[in-house]
């Protein structure tokens, strides 16, 4: 026994999906960038970064969010001209930071934030679509 299903308008559905993807991309990038900036602010002000002169803390950056295919990519980091120093401070778990901070000062807060950023991004995208539909 065989059943044949014919879908008329598959090309229209595909075009509509492309339109949705194209319209959602900028909001997705902007929303992810907003979350990345919030995370960086928390890292810098929340006592995560080892602080001696303050140079490491002020070297924190968030690059413009990119859309690579269907994946939004946010890059956060520390270092700039002091990248080697930032990496050593991040990885050396045996260092003592009596004033402030810890090793894994970027990784640890990112692990805490990761489960919490999807809902605000989804909320912004839903609001964007609600404005377009209404």
- Structural domain including 82 reads 28-133
Give per-residue pLDDT as tens, 17-44: 787 777 788 888 999 999 999 999 999 9
What letter would DSSP give residue 95?
-
Which residues pair with residue 71 across a beta bridge?
68
pLDDT at 133 over 90: no
Asked if residue 61 belongs to a domain, the reply is yes
Residue 123: how many other CB atoms lie within 10 Å: 11
Domain count, the chain: 1
The pTM of this model reads 0.81
- The pLDDT tens digits for 109-126 are 999 999 999 999 999 988
Within-domain flag for 86: yes
Q: Is residue 66 part of a domain?
A: yes
Is 128 within a domain?
yes
Contact 101, 47 (CB under 8 A): yes
Three-class SS of residue 15?
helix
Residue 96 within any structural domain of the chain: yes
Higher-scoring residue by pLDDT: 46, 20: 46
Q: What is the pLDDT of residue 42?
A: 96
In a domain, 5, yes or no: no
Within-domain flag for 8: no
Mean pLDDT for the stretch of residues 75-95: 89
Whether residue 23 lies inside any domain: the answer is no
Between 64 and 18, the higher pLDDT residue: 64
Average pLDDT of every residue of the chain:
88
Query: Taking 80 as the threshold, does the pLDDT of residue 84 lie above it?
Result: yes
Give the number of other Cβ atoms within 10 Å of residue 134's Cβ.
5
Report percent pLDDT > 70 for the chain. 97
């Amino acid at each position: 026994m065989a059943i044949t299903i014919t879908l008329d308008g598959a090309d229209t559905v595909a075009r509509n999906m492309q339109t949705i993807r194209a319209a959602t991309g900028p909001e997705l990038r902007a929303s992810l960038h907003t979350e990345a900036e919030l995370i960086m602010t928390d890292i810098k002000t929340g006592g995560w970064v080892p602080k001696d002169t303050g140079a490491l803390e002020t070297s924190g950056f968030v690059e413009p969010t990119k859309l690579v295919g269907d994946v939004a990519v946010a890059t956060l980091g520390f270092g700039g001209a002091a990248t080697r120093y930032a990496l050593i401070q991040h990885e050396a778990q045996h260092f003592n930071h009596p004033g402030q901070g810890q090793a894994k000062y970027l990784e640890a807060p990112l692990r805490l934030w990761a489960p919490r950023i999807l809902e605000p991004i989804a909320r912004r995208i839903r609001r964007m679509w609600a404005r377009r539909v209404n």
